Structure 1
Amino acid sequence: MAAIGTERRPFIGRFWPGKWKAVWLTLWLLLATSPSHAQWHEQNWSIMGTTVGARIWWPNAKEAEHLLGLVRQEMERINATYSPYLETSELSQINRLAAQQPQTLSAEFAELIDKALWVNTISQGAFDITYASVGHLYDYRTGSAPNNQTLKQNLSAVGKLQWQPKTQQLSFNHANVKIDLGGLAKGFAVEKAVALLHQHGVQHGSVNAGGDTRLLGDNLGKPWLIGIKNPRPQSADEQWQSVIKLPLTNEAISTSGDYERYFIDSHSGQRIHHILNPKTGKSSKGIISATVIGPSGSNTDPLSTAVFVMGVDAGLAMINQVPGYEAIVITSEGQVHYSAGLTPP
């Protein structure tokens, strides 16, 4: 087809004037941009404290690079807005000022607060963005955890949040309240990125950020095969293996695991990980991997965290009440549990 585009184009212009020239040019454009000329284009970046990747099926390499660049820009925008580690972020500003006076949020931030409070309600408090009131006391890089006295003092701030949806004003009812959208922002980001790609005409692709993936369309006529990571690999080779593979099309999938950010306590020998139970301020126990599948990454991300904290029975019971969403849970004993709409392989 390259010969049609380079050698024969002058031939068409010289000997086929008028409408026939237009017909041949149209045919050439259709051939040049047909799926048979497309290929996969992929980029990866370090954003939001994890590896972010995007992959699209597109016929033009330069255009694909531009589209992937738009994904990166959107991810960086979301990180700049909701990162608790950037003093200039809107979230950091809320954490500094909301205990002093109500803060009026942007429309997008208000949307995320509404989502967080919805999941908080259906999970009976297992998902709570004010967990950061104690969560910020942990340092997983240095292996540092708060002592019981400090934990107790800050635990009283969890849940002390007041939201006025009509005016989009958020305020804190305790001086030590902090919020963190870590269990929500990545799923929201991949959902926004895929919507952006779809608006620009991309029909096949995927965007992932850590444990959150949003698929666009199918994998060229076949379902995507998405693996659930082995939460307890026994060797370096096994850490890249999937314990379960799922055929998915145009869906989101999020996995919350105790293996992403953790350290082993030198005294107790216990694994201290970042998925905290808001009611205790300590790492949740019993589940080591919780995966939720559904049509929106904005929901699968917080729902997977909620299931992890709630435990097998309560977590799956909650998912069974959310239309269109399913869950797969792996316990610390290595047992696998499925929600009602899934048949075990």
Structure 2
Amino acid sequence: MVSFTYPRRLITQMIAPLLVLLALPTHAQWQQQDWDVMGTRASITLWSEQDATPLFLALKEEMARLNTLLSPWVETSELARVNARAAEKTQTISVEFYQLLARSLDYYQLTDGAFDITFASAGHLYDYREGTAPNDVALANARRHIGADRIELTAPDKVRFRDAGTRIDLGGIAKGYTIDQGIALLKKAGIEHAYLSLGGDSYVLGDHRGRPWEVGIQHPRNQQDIAIKLPIADLAMSTSGDYQRYFIQDGRRIHHILSPKTGKSIDGLASVTVLCADSIDADALSTSVFVLGAEKGLALINRLPDTSAIIIDRDGNVTYSDDLIGG
């Protein structure tokens, strides 16, 4: 089994896919709840002198609202409607949905196409539950429709697809956005200490009442093992991993992080964790770095202010962005 360590200066920033809270003390004023939404598990732990039940309900309602807005599996969602109709006729959408599309196109430009929500033009052909992938002919046809330059946005609320075969999926940014909305709700309620997670995306609000929250990065190849233990506070974090949705076909790991160029799963990396101020950015960047690969991905991260990354490749090697490497 591979054992991982972290540099000395890595003391307030880092996390990964399934963040595991370590040694959480039992206290009457620490309140916690979990529920399923967006195809994954949501979890909230917070400090409050009041009964947090109404706040938990508000969080659940907000996440459910965003799921009905952004899910490709909800037939009445805005995303599903746009996929079905935007190539035929310009669609009027909510300002919120428009802003998410615009942010996605910004990342498409920033990453030279590595972050591309039109990957769904090929992505919808994969069935991870059944363990099936498209054949070469179907994949070649789908690739012709990938490219976010096929999306035409007209402020403040219009979208059209220039290609009838183009589809979008906001899976690389939606959960991060949802975390940010949840944290805004907590702050408005006066909460100063909380840990909110949604799948591989999370935000640590404040500290753990005088000390950092201790979290762990799940080992990419052993769900029962922790790769790295970290103390963190006031930080957004997102992990993209090749073990979150996958199947094995002909000895190859087929997972959900696809190359926009090939329509196939990215090889080489096992997980990428990005840490920064906002979850929406951490979410988009963790996907982008995974697609770009370690060298190009870290070059991007090292150019961005107040942004860090931790990469674990399939051989168990750990690489850090420049700001996390101690002297």
TM-score of the pair, normalised by structure 2:
0.89
Sequence identity of aligned pairs in percent?
A: 46
Structure 2 matches for 1:186-265, cutoff 5 A?
A: 186-233=175-222, 239-265=223-249
Structure 1 residue 312 and structure 2 residue 294: aligned?
Answer: yes
Q: Provide the rounded CA distance (Å) in 1 between the counterparts of 2:216 and 2:194.
A: 16
Question: Which of residues 36, 45, 55 in structure 2 aligns to 1:55?
Answer: 45
Partner of 1:68: 56
Question: Which of residues 117, 122, 127 in structure 2 aligns to 1:129?
Answer: 117
Q: Provide the rounded CA distance (Å) in 1 between the counterparts of 2:102 and 2:230.
A: 30
TM-score of the pair, normalised by structure 1:
0.84
Structure 2 matches for 1:29-44, cutoff 5 A?
A: 39-44=29-34
Tell me, yes or no, if the aligned pair for 2:216 and 2:226 is still in contact at 8 Å. yes
161-170 or 190-199, larger mean C-alpha shift: 161-170
130-139 or 173-182, larger mean C-alpha shift: 173-182
Partner of 2:106: 118
Tell me, yes or no, if the aligned pair for 1:161 and 1:170 is still in contact at 8 Å. no
Question: Which of residues 275, 280, 286 in structure 1 aligns to 2:268?
Answer: 286
Deviations 1:23-61 (A, max 9, x none): xxxxxxxxxxxxxx9611111111000011111111122
Count of equivalent residues:
300
User: What one-letter code is carried by the residue in structure 2 that aligns with 1:49?
Assistant: G
Q: Provide the rounded CA distance (Å) in 1 between the counterparts of 2:152 and 2:232.
A: 36
- Report the Cα offset of residue 245 of structure 1: 2.2
Deviations 1:112-163 (A, max 9, x none): 1121112111111111000000000000001110000000111100015233
User: What one-letter code is carried by the residue in structure 1 that aligns with 2:309?
Assistant: A
- Report the Cα offset of residue 104 of structure 1: 2.3
SS in 2 for 1:182: coil
- Report the Cα offset of residue 174 of structure 1: 1.2
Divergent runs of 4+, >3 A: none
Q: Provide the rounded CA distance (Å) in 1 between the counterparts of 2:238 and 2:312.
A: 14
Q: Provide the rounded CA distance (Å) in 2 between the counterparts of 1:292 and 1:104.
A: 33
Question: Which of residues 68, 83, 86 in structure 2 aligns to 1:80?
Answer: 68
Question: Which of residues 150, 157, 172 in structure 2 aligns to 1:183?
Answer: 172
Kindly indicate which of the two structures has a greater share of residues assigned to helix: 1
User: What one-letter code is carried by the residue in structure 2 that aligns with 1:179?
Assistant: I
Cα gap change, 1:223/1:282 in structure 2, threshold over 3 Å: closer, same or farther?
A: same
- Report the Cα offset of residue 111 of structure 1: 1.5
Q: Provide the rounded CA distance (Å) in 2 between the counterparts of 1:286 and 1:260.
A: 15
Structure 1: gaps spanning 5 or more residues: 1-36, 234-238
When Rg is computed on C-alpha atoms for both structures, the one with the higher figure is: 1
Q: Provide the rounded CA distance (Å) in 2 between the counterparts of 1:241 and 1:165.
A: 48
Tell me, yes or no, if the aligned pair for 1:228 and 1:255 is still in contact at 8 Å. no
Tell me, yes or no, if the aligned pair for 2:98 and 2:156 is still in contact at 8 Å. no
RMSD: 1.4
Partner of 2:92: 104
Structure 2: gaps spanning 5 or more residues: 1-26
Q: Provide the rounded CA distance (Å) in 2 between the counterparts of 1:270 and 1:277.
A: 15
Q: Provide the rounded CA distance (Å) in 1 between the counterparts of 2:244 and 2:269.
A: 14
Cα gap change, 1:281/1:95 in structure 2, threshold over 3 Å: closer, same or farther?
A: same
Tell me, yes or no, if the aligned pair for 2:152 and 2:162 is still in contact at 8 Å. no
